[in-house]
Structures are given as C-alpha cells and as structure tokens.
Amino acid sequence: MRIGTIVNYAGGFVEVADEIAELEKVGLDIVFVPEAYSFDAASQLGYLAAKTSTVTLASGVFQLYTRTPTLIAMTAAGLDYVSGGRFVLGLGASGPQVIEGFHGVKYDAPLGRTRETVEICRKVWKRERLEYEGKHFTVPLPPEKGTGLGKALKLINHPVRDRIPVVIAALGAKNVALTAEIAEGWQPIFFMPEKAGDVWGAALAEGKAKRAPELGELDVFAGPALAIGENVEHLFAFVKPMLALYIGGMGAKGKNFYHGLATTYGFGKQADAIQDLYLAGKKQEAVEAVPDELVRSISLIGPKSFVAERVAAFKEAGVTTLNVNPLAENTAGRVQQVETLAGLL
C-alpha cells in the first residue's frame, strides 16, 4: 500500500510545501492538491514540483466543466513535464453548487463529459492529430459552429509520457462503474472497508468487466484521518464536522448520497438526526450527533495495534493508497504520524 495526503485549503503555502518535502523523506508517495473554489491547483502543483523530487503530484481534483478537455490535457502534460513524470490527473465533476454557483457554467451530463474528456486527453498525450466527434465535445469545431478556419492540430511538444494516470473522484453507481472501466484510479469518500462492497461492489464489477487490460489494476484511494497513539479518540472531534456537513447539508432529504451512504453503513437513524439538525440550522448539534463508531470505522485513529488492524481491513477491501489526513498540532507531529504509518505497511 502507498501513503498519500491532501493539501489543506488553509495555511501559508510555502510552509505547506516545506512540510510536503519533509513528508516525502519519511515515505509519502503522493500528494493531492484540491481546487473547489479556492486557488487553482495547477499553480500550486508547479511549485511543489520544484520543491520535491520523488513524491507523485496529483490534482484533487480538476473540475470537468471549468477547462476544455484539451486544456486539461495540456495542463496535465505540462505538470508531468515540470515534475519529471510525477503527475497524476485527478478529475471530478464537482457539483452544481460550485459549477453553476461559482463558475456560471451549466452542470449537465457528468458521465458523458467524463468519458469524452478522458478520451480526448489520451489522444493529446499520444500527439495524435486531434479529430474528435462526441456528444459533448467536437474538435475541431465544425464550420457551421465557428469561422471555418479551425483545423486538426496535435500537441507541439513531446510529452514526458504518452499515458498520464487518471484518477476519478466518483461516488454514484454509474460514475463508479465508468471509473472502473476507463481510469487508472478511483477516489471514493468516507470509505468503510467492511461495507464498501455493499455500496460500490456491483458498480466496480460492472466497470472492471469492460476494463482494458493495459489500464492494469484499479488504484483505490481511501481518505482516512490518521492519529496513531494512546488516548487519541478526542481527535474524532476533528472528523465529525465534515461528516455532519456532507450527511446533513449536501442535498435535500431523499437526495443526499452521503446520507444514503451512512445509512448503508448501518447508521440510518443517526443520519436522519444529523440531517434534521443540519437542515434546521443547528449545525453544532448536528456535529455532536455524529456517532464515534462511524468516525472510528472510516479512520485510522487509535493505538498502533488498532491502526494496524484497520490498515489490514482497508487492504482486504481493495484499497491500494491510504490518502491520509494526519491529525497533529505541527509539522513534526504530522511527519511522525506518516512515518509511523509507513512502518505498519
């Protein structure tokens, strides 16, 4: 198993980059830089490429609707170039709250756009003359939709690699099936090893049945919080606000995937209570309603022996990369957490 982490939106970036360089020394394999509606990820990834030497750098994630497929491909090739072949393209559809609310772009057809974007990216990286006609993207633009001057082009530079790994953040059954079919990696959320098969097993099997052999095995990125030590359960408090936000506030009643996920995990009554409180504006009470057992089951928080058991459970469930959030007060503490985890793998 590999160890990854994700850069936080907050904090000074120079300090964050220095910390990633320290984590690299003790076994960090990959770092994801998020975007959402914060600073763009590409700028930060370029900086990290200069500050590191071995760690893989990943977008976490580039949103499908905010760049053309060819710009996504160019940016990925550029980041792979400046990092010496260490880039992984993390893609995701995000949601209408961000895509329409912040970017002013219509959120539609995430499945079709995902497939076509990946297909176009792979053509660009192979330096094929780009001629593509899909339902959502057509390159070059046909004369009736443009000036008629556009012609098929290919990337000027030779990419470091003609196949940059693609990791897709996917949750719903259709999205997960598509990811297992076309991507090198899959990034779920709130992954509980013992129940993940109940939620995503059928979709993964459907996608893998159509998977091209050259893609290899699907890399699965789980994202547990990490705190190895005695008497660390008080750190559950740092995980609960995110769970309350997603279970309670990401969608309306009956239309919230995360609420359904918690229900499938066996926390239906608690999920109902969290949602009711959150939608009523009682956000702190919603946080307090998140059960310790839910946090424990999706995290790596506890004594070394317990964490070792949980790591084995994640591995048994098919996880290949633990994309951890080390819970510690400072860089030294976070480095120690990652180093300790590396010793358990």
Q: Are residues 207 and 278 in the same domain?
A: no
**When comparing pLDDT for 12 and 208, which is higher?**
208
Q: Are residues 292 and 307 in the same domain?
A: no
Q: Are residues 178 and 138 in the same domain?
A: yes
Q: State which residues form the domain around 271.
A: 231-300
Residues 6+ apart with CB under 8 A from 231: none
Q: Are residues 56 and 82 in the same domain?
A: yes
Q: Are residues 55 and 98 in the same domain?
A: yes
pLDDT-derived band at 73 (thresholds 50, 70, 90) equals very high
Mean pLDDT of 29-46: 95
Both tokens of 247, joined, read 């279970």
pLDDT at residue 9 is higher than 80? no
Percent of the chain with pLDDT over 70: 100
pLDDT digits (tens, 9 = 90+) for 48-61: 999 999 999 999 99
pLDDT digits (tens, 9 = 90+) for 219-230: 999 999 999 999
Q: Are residues 322 and 334 in the same domain?
A: yes
Question: What is the pLDDT of the chain when averaged over all its residues?
Answer: 96
Q: Are residues 269 and 141 in the same domain?
A: no
pLDDT of res. 253: 87
Q: Are residues 281 and 310 in the same domain?
A: no
Q: Are residues 186 and 218 in the same domain?
A: yes
Q: Based on the structure, what is the number of domains in the chain?
A: 2
Q: Are residues 180 and 285 in the same domain?
A: no
Residues 6+ apart with CB under 8 A from 222: 188, 191, 193, 314, 319, 321, 322, 323
pLDDT digits (tens, 9 = 90+) for 236-275: 999 999 999 999 998 788 889 899 999 999 999 999 999 9
The CATH number assigned to the domain holding 101 equals: 3.20.20.30
Give the separation between CA 221 and CA 321, rounded to whole angstroms: 5
Q: Are residues 168 and 196 in the same domain?
A: yes
Q: Are residues 40 and 184 in the same domain?
A: yes
pLDDT digits (tens, 9 = 90+) for 269-283: 999 999 999 999 999
